[in-house]
Amino acid sequence: MPVPDPTALHALQSHLLAMPPARALQPSVEGFVAGRLRLRAPLAANVNDKGSAFGGSLASMMTLAAWGLTTLQVEQAGLDAEVYVADSQLRYLTPLREDLLVEAWLDDDRDWAGFLSTLRSRGRARTTVHAQVLLGDGAPAATATSRYAAILRRG
């Protein structure tokens, strides 16, 4: 997968901050690590009544990371499409009491070339993206497996 350039990552950051419910989480685009898109957000903006990260914030940050990863691929391919989450399976494994570090990556059985080819030829395509929120020791605090759909905009 081609790693997007800093301009594309900066545009993604602006895109996230333009959505009020995303902006409230104070996400920042950290970049790519081993082919995975990483986002961060401060615990203070995402804390629940128990002093740990709110489950809805974990879900939202994983959604933003997976959506952002898919959107970057579409944009890098020069396509203009809307990207939607279709469904998601979430697991909350352990309370998180530190800042949120989230990464998203394409399912091993999928490839971006096939997704983009289908999007070009049929005007829509689906793929499966994984995301997780990492603890400081690298173990996951929460995981998500989601299907994303892209639909070409009619120009």
Residue nearer to a second copy on the CB measure, 29 or 113: 29
CA 77 vs CA 9, 102, 140: distances in Å: 15, 24, 31
Instruction: Find the shortest distance in angstroms from Cβ 110 to a second copy.
Output: 19
CA 135 vs CA 64, 100, 145: distances in Å: 18, 8, 18
Q: Which stretch binds a second copy (CB under 8 A): 31-39, 51-59, 121-129, 131-139?
A: 51-59
Q: Is there a contact between 116 and 79 (Cβ–Cβ < 8 Å)?
A: yes
Under the binding rule (CB under 8 A), the answer on residue 21 touching a second copy is yes
Q: Which residues bind a second copy (CB under 8 A)?
A: 15, 18-22, 24-25, 44-50, 54-57, 59-61, 63-64, 67, 82, 84-92, 95
